[in-house]
A and B are shown apart, each in its own frame.
Chain A
Amino acid sequence: MSRGVTRRRVLAGAAAAAATAALAPQLGCAPPARRRRAATPTEVRRVASACELCPNKCAVLAVVENGRVKKLDPNPLSPKSRGMLCARGNAAIKALYDPDRVKQPLIRAGARGEGKWRPVSWDEALDFTAERLHRIKEAHGPEAVLFSSTEGFQEEFFKNLGLAFGSPNILRHPTLCLASVNLAYSMTFGTVPSFDLLNARYVIMSGANRFESIITPDTMDLIEGAMNRKAKLVYLDPRFTVTAAKADEWYPIRPGTDLAFILALIHVIIEEQRYDKEFVATRCLGFDELAAHVQRYTPAWAAAETDIPAAAIVRIAREFADAAPRAVYYAGRRSSWYVNDFQMRRGQAILNAIVGNWDREGGVVPNSRIALGELLFLPWDDPTAERVDEIGTRFPLAAKGDGAFLQARENVLAGVPYPVKGWLVYKQDPMNALPDRGRTQRMIEAMDLVAVIDTQMSDTAHFADVVLPESMYLERTDPLHMLPGIWPVVVLRQQVVPPIYDTKPNLEIIQGLAKRLGLSEYFDYTIEEWIAEQAAELPVENPLEYLKQHGVYAPEGAPFYGKTLAPGYRFLTRSGKIELYSPRLAEVGHDPLPVYRPPTPIPAGSFRMVLGRKATHTHAATTNNVWLIEQTPTNHLWLHPEPAARLGIGDGDLVEVVSAVGAVRLPARVTPEIRPDCVFMLHGFGKKSPQLRLAHGNGACDADVLVTAWDAVSGNAAFHETVVTVRKVGKEDRRA
């Protein structure tokens, strides 16, 4: 990468020149510059669309020169992306023109995972897939096929294929992501709200690393709030992240003890009568039970659990209550940490409720929405079999339609309650997204068919039987999506350039399969018809034309607060009130008020592995993007200098990380920016798929060592329950 003249080389050259008194410049003999003459005036188009490099859906304006996407500019019209485009959004060009893309349908030619493929026509690939699906259905029933996907604008078509096929086993991403926080807020407020960071004066965050894990508009609003409006940011994280660096106060909390901190805050606020009495009296259920419940959770007790001084807990509680309603305990996104995650998120929700920050400027605000039309299509019969993850009995409060991913994997491996023989995957990489990759691989091996729809050869695609290449986002038009929020917006992702390779948009892939499965009647529409119906009701003239031109539609004017504060408003909970105490939780055998349970202790000499994100990569999806790899070329094991010295590990040394389920090797980054009892590695590296040439074998894959655990209430994967040991295996510096 550094074949050019570096500054150091030039300086060395200059020194040599001076020594020999030869003043001829060392590089002066370069031939006259071969100038790249710009081609005759180019045709330049600007097309509005919506980014898909992460789930934020930022509005972009693609600059197309002579049919090639040259630049992606931020579209200033979206109130959600606030006129910005991050490194990943800018690097989407390299994802589009990635030479490692899947360029046509592939059918496996060797053993699974051997990497031998036979390029085939779409007809052959779809015939193959449909024929296998049909065979599985005949032998085991439609429930023997699993349809798993991650969120995306065309996910709905995929899900619908599963349902029309007759399988109840639709598995979506939330139980690998934010199911616990969604459920905690739903159980408390009856809805999943947003956090008004643009107007908050006091923000507490537990591990939601908002400055490296970009969520729009929260990241931009928080930096604006913290830096320009002097909002106070209190941040808890075992790791010194960029958010920690920008926070007013950072506490390297003992991992897994956040609920102790939260309960102590509630304790102080109630004891000192700093809660919003009127709000609590008129809108909340179970305050007395809460007050009695938190009596034992004193700041002194919490200090011993969390490593946060009691005096700081008392002060933060007072400051937080005083700043309310412009004060929020921010929920975060990837809430999949511990087996009591739901209760920890409930604690946050309850704390927010008692200071009365609900639905007020600078507080926790229920989302506004914009109504979209819906294309009516022929309905299918609901699948008859029960779900393989038995979500109805195991997690009765969880969102049934999303499923419980890890429970599903365990049941499939055990063959209960029935055999599952087929697995269709859309836009998801379970080999990286799930803990314990070995078990995921065994699940793949148990299948008669694994078919993957993706834009690149993910690790899951690498182990599949057939790969159906989807067109990249700049090559296709997707359904409209309304993004709810304090500033809701409708975004259009429209085609910018035609597909470069023999790929298809997901809808066409689904229609191809549906046709062969005799399900065509359920998918007899085009993407244009779908969008036209969605857009029809938007309050602008020629809504579709408007969207094609502007890329987004957002209502004008200031956001609307207080719609749920009207007298007599019924919250969407059973009691119609904000449920501090939840009778529904008690009914199904869970704690109706959050009870603190300490995390499993870490044995001496071992470490807790914590996860986290960086702004340059999205999950495991972007580590083959050359512009992003330039910024974050590999991953390291973060290790505090104290244990590093004990273990004889120096910065850059190759270390082996061993857990109960696996071992990986990667270079150590010895840094004080992590607690001495924790280690961290960035997700998304150590790919098995050799077709991803920049990511393959680069660094280590966290899924190899993470153990399987989940939150008891929501079924959400618990990714911070892994204990590892670390040892030095070599001086090798993989960065060299």
Chain B
Amino acid sequence: MRERLGIKGKPRWALAIDARKCINCKACIVACKAENGVPLGKFRNRINEEHGGSYPHLRASFEPEQCHHCASPSCVRVCPTGASYQRDDGLVLVHANDCIGCGYCIIACPYDARYFNPETRVVDKCTMCVHRVDAGREPACAETCPSRVRLFGDLHDGEGSLRHTLDSRRSQVKKEQTGNHPQLYYLL
């Protein structure tokens, strides 16, 4: 597992999500659109809504989701040109120059995290705001959130708040059976 999670001593970026705190305000979605120039009608992140129960015993939950930056990303495996790739720090990205827009990766992603960008005519996805991360900042979605739903950090940093949170609170990942080793941790 360690190997899949990158190189020891080097960072492995990931997000933990405390969905209980999500108020479905959409700040993360709009911040992402601004930060990354996402075209109209397309989104790199979303909030899954679930409503249930019967009146007056109702319930509703809201769960932000985006690319899981899996440790074994199927999108990278199916890419015929090598455009989809993973960095040592775990971020799954697309070389726009090498993407032929075949859409295999869109199908291969178990999380519906990719889309075809009609403006650039290549596949697009959450980059974890790699340009910000490389400059020592957190992704725009995490930064803007009124209720601090997302916790961004380095899984390898034993002193970091992400490691601390995941070691001290129960969490789960989605669709573990895919073998993708997703790295978007939902706190319970």
Do A and B interact with each other, yes or no?
yes
Of B8-16, B51-59, B175-183, the one with at least 4 CB within 8 A of chain A: B51-59
Of B65-73, B139-147, B156-164, the one with at least 4 CB within 8 A of chain A: B139-147
Least distance between A96 CB and chain B CB atoms (Å): 11
The residue that B41 contacts in the complex, of A4, A32, A212, A240, with Cβ under 8 A, is A4
The residue that B115 contacts in the complex, of A4, A28, A220, with Cβ under 8 A, is A4
B133: Cβ under 8 A from any A Cβ: no
A227: Cβ under 8 A from any B Cβ: yes
Q: What are the residues of chain A within 8 A of B146 when measuring CB–CB?
A: 82, 84, 86, 214, 219-220, 223
Q: What are the residues of chain B within 8 A of A93 when measuring CB–CB?
A: 34
Pair B118/A242 contact, Cβ less than 8 Å:
no
Pair A35/B96 contact, Cβ less than 8 Å:
yes
B117: Cβ under 8 A from any A Cβ: yes
Q: What are the residues of chain A within 8 A of B54 when measuring CB–CB?
A: 672
Pair A672/B103 contact, Cβ less than 8 Å:
no
Pair B23/A626 contact, Cβ less than 8 Å:
no
In Å, the complex CA distance between A36 and B40 comes to 17
Pair A5/B106 contact, Cβ less than 8 Å:
yes
With most chain A CB atoms within 10 A of its CB, the pick from B18, B23, B96, B145 is B23
Pair B107/A672 contact, Cβ less than 8 Å:
no
In Å, the complex CA distance between A228 and B34 comes to 30
B153: Cβ under 8 A from any A Cβ: no
Pair A4/B40 contact, Cβ less than 8 Å:
no
B77: Cβ under 8 A from any A Cβ: no
B127: Cβ under 8 A from any A Cβ: no
Q: Report the nearest A residue to B37, measured CB to CB.
A: A70
Q: What are the residues of chain A within 8 A of B103 when measuring CB–CB?
A: 5, 10, 13, 25-27
The residue that B23 contacts in the complex, of A34, A72, A89, A219, with Cβ under 8 A, is A219
Least distance between A94 CB and chain B CB atoms (Å): 9
Given A4-B41, A27-B101, does the pair A214, B25 have CB atoms closer than 8 Å? yes
Q: What are the residues of chain B within 8 A of A3 when measuring CB–CB?
A: 41, 118
Q: What are the residues of chain A within 8 A of B53 when measuring CB–CB?
A: 672
A630: Cβ under 8 A from any B Cβ: yes
A616: Cβ under 8 A from any B Cβ: yes
Per-residue B-contact encoding for A23-39, CB less than 8 Å = 1, 0 else: 00111101111111000
The residue that A10 contacts in the complex, of B23, B106, B144, with Cβ under 8 A, is B106
Pair B27/A5 contact, Cβ less than 8 Å:
no
Give the size category of B's interface with A: 35 or more
A446: Cβ under 8 A from any B Cβ: no
Q: What are the residues of chain B within 8 A of A672 when measuring CB–CB?
A: 53-55, 58
Interface residues of B in 3-41 (CB under 8 A from A): 18, 20-21, 23-27, 29-31, 33-35, 39-41
Per-residue B-contact encoding for A468-507, CB less than 8 Å = 1, 0 else: 0000000000000000000000000000000000000000
Q: What are the residues of chain B within 8 A of A85 when measuring CB–CB?
A: 27, 31, 144
Interface residues of A in 158-213 (CB under 8 A from B): 211-212
Q: Report the nearest B residue to A91, measured CB to CB.
A: B30
The residue that A34 contacts in the complex, of B104, B112, B120, B144, with Cβ under 8 A, is B120
The residue that B120 contacts in the complex, of A27, A35, A84, A223, with Cβ under 8 A, is A35
Pair B106/A87 contact, Cβ less than 8 Å:
no
Least distance between A487 CB and chain B CB atoms (Å): 16
Least distance between A461 CB and chain B CB atoms (Å): 26
B97: Cβ under 8 A from any A Cβ: yes
B85: Cβ under 8 A from any A Cβ: no
In Å, the complex CA distance between A441 and B158 comes to 65
Pair A30/B101 contact, Cβ less than 8 Å:
yes
Q: Report the nearest A residue to B47, measured CB to CB.
A: A631
Q: What are the residues of chain A within 8 A of B1 when measuring CB–CB?
A: none
Pair A33/B99 contact, Cβ less than 8 Å:
yes
Least distance between B105 CB and chain A CB atoms (Å): 10
Pair B41/A2 contact, Cβ less than 8 Å:
yes
Pair B118/A72 contact, Cβ less than 8 Å:
no
Q: Report the nearest B residue to A83, measured CB to CB.
A: B143
The residue that A84 contacts in the complex, of B56, B61, B116, B145, with Cβ under 8 A, is B145
In Å, the complex CA distance between A498 and B35 comes to 22
B122: Cβ under 8 A from any A Cβ: yes
Pair B21/A227 contact, Cβ less than 8 Å:
yes
A73: Cβ under 8 A from any B Cβ: yes
Pair B56/A250 contact, Cβ less than 8 Å:
yes
B60: Cβ under 8 A from any A Cβ: yes
Pair A616/B104 contact, Cβ less than 8 Å:
no
Pair A33/B144 contact, Cβ less than 8 Å:
no
Pair B55/A640 contact, Cβ less than 8 Å:
yes
In Å, the complex CA distance between A630 and B144 comes to 18
Pair B100/A30 contact, Cβ less than 8 Å:
yes
A690: Cβ under 8 A from any B Cβ: no
Least distance between A59 CB and chain B CB atoms (Å): 12
Pair A84/B27 contact, Cβ less than 8 Å:
yes
Given A10-B106, A90-B27, A250-B56, does the pair A73, B144 have CB atoms closer than 8 Å? yes
A342: Cβ under 8 A from any B Cβ: no
A292: Cβ under 8 A from any B Cβ: no
A409: Cβ under 8 A from any B Cβ: no
Least distance between B121 CB and chain A CB atoms (Å): 5
Least distance between A622 CB and chain B CB atoms (Å): 11
With most chain B CB atoms within 10 A of its CB, the pick from A14, A33, A214 is A33
Given A4-B42, A25-B104, A227-B18, does the pair A615, B23 have CB atoms closer than 8 Å? yes
A252: Cβ under 8 A from any B Cβ: yes
In Å, the complex CA distance between A681 and B29 comes to 24
Least distance between B21 CB and chain A CB atoms (Å): 5
Q: Report the nearest A residue to B100, measured CB to CB.
A: A28
Pair B100/A252 contact, Cβ less than 8 Å:
no
B102: Cβ under 8 A from any A Cβ: yes
Given A30-B121, A245-B59, does the pair A212, B23 have CB atoms closer than 8 Å? yes
Per-residue B-contact encoding for A393-428, CB less than 8 Å = 1, 0 else: 000000000000000000000000000000000000
Pair A87/B29 contact, Cβ less than 8 Å:
yes
The residue that A240 contacts in the complex, of B35, B60, B96, with Cβ under 8 A, is B60
Q: What are the residues of chain B within 8 A of A673 when measuring CB–CB?
A: 51, 55, 58, 60
A548: Cβ under 8 A from any B Cβ: no
Pair B26/A87 contact, Cβ less than 8 Å:
yes
With most chain A CB atoms within 10 A of its CB, the pick from B30, B33, B51, B54 is B30
Least distance between B127 CB and chain A CB atoms (Å): 15
Q: What are the residues of chain A within 8 A of B25 when measuring CB–CB?
A: 86-87, 211-212, 214, 615-616
Q: What are the residues of chain A within 8 A of B18 when measuring CB–CB?
A: 227
Q: What are the residues of chain B within 8 A of A74 when measuring CB–CB?
A: 143-144
Per-residue A-contact encoding for B78-104, CB less than 8 Å = 1, 0 else: 001000000000000000110111111
In Å, the complex CA distance between A244 and B23 comes to 11
Q: What are the residues of chain B within 8 A of A28 when measuring CB–CB?
A: 100-102
Pair B34/A252 contact, Cβ less than 8 Å:
no
Q: Report the nearest B residue to A81, measured CB to CB.
A: B146
Pair A1/B102 contact, Cβ less than 8 Å:
no
Least distance between B174 CB and chain A CB atoms (Å): 17
Q: What are the residues of chain A within 8 A of B24 when measuring CB–CB?
A: 212, 242, 615
Least distance between A296 CB and chain B CB atoms (Å): 28
Given A84-B27, A220-B146, A227-B18, does the pair A33, B34 have CB atoms closer than 8 Å? no
Pairs across A and B, CB under 8 Å, 28 listed: A2-B41, A3-B41, A4-B116, A4-B117, A5-B103, A7-B106, A10-B107, A28-B100, A28-B101, A33-B97, A33-B121, A72-B34, A74-B144, A84-B145, A219-B23, A219-B147, A223-B146, A228-B21, A242-B24, A245-B60, A252-B55, A630-B40, A630-B41, A631-B26, A671-B51, A672-B53, A672-B55, A673-B51
Chain A residues near B (Cβ < 8 Å): 1-5, 7, 10-11, 13-14, 25-28, 30-36, 70-74, 82-87, 89-91, 93, 211-212, 214, 219-220, 223-224, 227-228, 240, 242, 244-246, 250-252, 615-616, 626-628, 630-631, 640, 671-673, 676
Chain B residues near A (Cβ < 8 Å): 18, 20-21, 23-27, 29-31, 33-35, 39-42, 51, 53-56, 58-62, 80, 96-97, 99-104, 106-107, 112, 115-118, 120-122, 140, 143-148
A242-B60, A252-B56 provided; 19 other pairs, C-beta below 8 A?
A: A4-B116, A7-B106, A10-B107, A26-B103, A30-B101, A33-B101, A33-B121, A33-B122, A71-B140, A86-B144, A86-B146, A89-B144, A223-B146, A251-B56, A615-B23, A626-B40, A672-B54, A672-B55, A673-B58
